[in-house]
Chains A and B, each alone.
Chain A
Amino acid sequence: MDVIIQLQRQIADYRASLYREGYVDDQFTQLQKLQDESSPDFVVEVTSLFFEDCEKLVNNMARALEPRAVDFKQVDSHVHQLKGSSSSMGAARIKNICIAFRTYCESQDHEGCLRCLQQVNHEYSQLKIKLQTLFRLEQQIVAAGGSIPVIQ
């Protein structure tokens, strides 16, 4: 029983830190609420879809930013997609970088775009580690016979 209570506290604390540090926002909470008995792995599934999408888009952006004559409309369309995905995921940091990224696309600022791409890459790796940690904690609690604390 103690183990479960400890794990529940760990999960609650870890979740709180993710919000506090701006990794996720309220939309992530909304995602949790969509998970139920009929779709018990909803959050994990959506998260892995998001990371797949992220990887694909980042690669597309990198390729589009390679040539000397960049097609900024192309880059912008990828950033637009990522902004939509990250916003619906609640991935706040990534979303915010995308907002800045789009203005660099608009002003056709190659350097600015490359900087944003680097930031996106960084935040994507960070978020992946954070969420994998959270899911692992949740798995542990279920394995110990407990239940994942409900998000308020």
Chain B
Amino acid sequence: MDVYEALFPAASLSSCCDYNPYHCHPLFCFSTGINLSECFHLLQLQYKTLKVIGAEFGTSVLSYFIFLKWLLTFNIFSFLINFGFLTIPQFLAAEPNNLSFTGLELLTGAGYFQQTVLYYGFYTNATISKIKNGPSYNMQLAYIFTVGLYFVICFLILLFSMAKSFCRNFINPQAHSGNASKLLCTWDFNITNEKAVKLKQKNLSTQIKVQSTGGTKSLLVKALSFVLFFFLFKLFVKGHRNDLESQAAMLVLPVVTSLLNAFIPFFYSWLGRLERFHTPGQHIYVTIARNIILKISIVGILCYYWLNVVAVSESQCWETLVGQDIYRLIVVDFLFCLLGSFFGEFLRRIIGTTVCVNLGLPEFDIGRNVLDLIYAQTLTWIGILFSPLMPGIQIISFSIVFCVKKVSLMKNCQPPRKVWRTAQMTTSFMFLLFFPSFLGVLSVIGVTVWRLKPSEECGPFRGLSSMYAAVSEWIEILENYTASKWVVWIYHNLITSELFFFILSTSILIIAYLYWQIIEGRKIMIKHLHKQIINGGKDKMFLLEKLRTLQMAKQTPSAPGGQGQQVSLIV
């Protein structure tokens, strides 16, 4: 390969679309509706911000901001789909809103907002047509197909991002302890701040000096965690009995949830310090795992409550109630995030520099912040079915969080002392987003669409036995038209047919097994080739020795008649 061809690849040095899958998505340019040059200017600003963060704090903290930016782009995409296909047609058939607007609605989501396009209950079940005998828009089908297609697209995007990330970053996790790569491959050339460089050098020398110690983990902590979740469950079951009454009581559930989310992780960190771990890395992983379990249980309990208690209660429009609950959870969680930034970073810096100087500046807690983002995104995904404009609220929330966290980071925090294996952590974040978060949401939505009875008086599915019944009824109507017989055939033989899914699953399992066996075979091949290289090296040394001895023998005066000896060596 010509060196100059290698040095000047076809793409330019711009930031827009590059190796890193989390960098600005091309959709971002078109989706905000502003022209390309303004868009480019905004991207340049973001690029500069990211560069400054990476320069001062390194790639590990930068990965959090890149993840946040990726989620923001994702939400913009979600918002546009829902807005375009559901809200705009609904505006054409909107009923007038007789409620008055007080400021409290921004916090509680109830009141004036109840009769707006924000919630499921406002959407009509009719077929909208403005022009007589013109094209009509079936809101029922539009709702279920938009939401369905959106989740399918999300699934594919997440699956491919995760697979690409795995492919690049998770090669050989069981490799050697990695001292060599730690020394030669992990110096962060991004860092351009003198203090950060000195700190990193000090960390590296400390790491090399420190020996690891052994330790044990106690089962007591596991038991304590289970007790905690039981207690949580009881609290929720008790707490929501009175949330249908006054506006202030509506906020009890979200505030309690956010308080639990905020304070229990501190409890876990404190517990983690009491226990002894083999390596500092294990401490981080265990703390993050506990936080994940906490968040999964909170979301699980909330979903159980919504689907089994609210949905079967006799309230008028349960989907709107669930939507409002999610709205309040998201808003209060956002406020707590800002408060957390204020107390956790700003006040901690004040304390660390004036009152208690040996504490020092706070560090940016990457794991916890990323889990908060994943939790917020999970709530948004659950909320899309009950409130199509939820991604819009999340866009505003994420944008403000980005700015606040950036400012707080620059002013209050110091670069991280621990070494983060950034590529593996980034892949783990994507995996966490996909596996418990997205698949959990899919199961909740699945149960809602297939099993629950929609409310009688509101929403696009009023009067049906389940939301999915809209599709079955549509297929029955299509059976009467010969032109669409193929759609009916696909529906009956591929989508609702168990045999088809059985065959599909079996083939996928067989293919996965074959690929797994190929990988095992290749691992054995790698071992053989490794041995071959070592043996090749030994052969080379042996031949060089032989050459040296023969050359020395040739140089020293040999016995008469010894000239003319031809030495041929096969190399």
A interacts with B: no
**Which residues from chain B sit less than 8 Å from chain A, CB to CB?**
none
**Which residues from chain A sit less than 8 Å from chain B, CB to CB?**
none
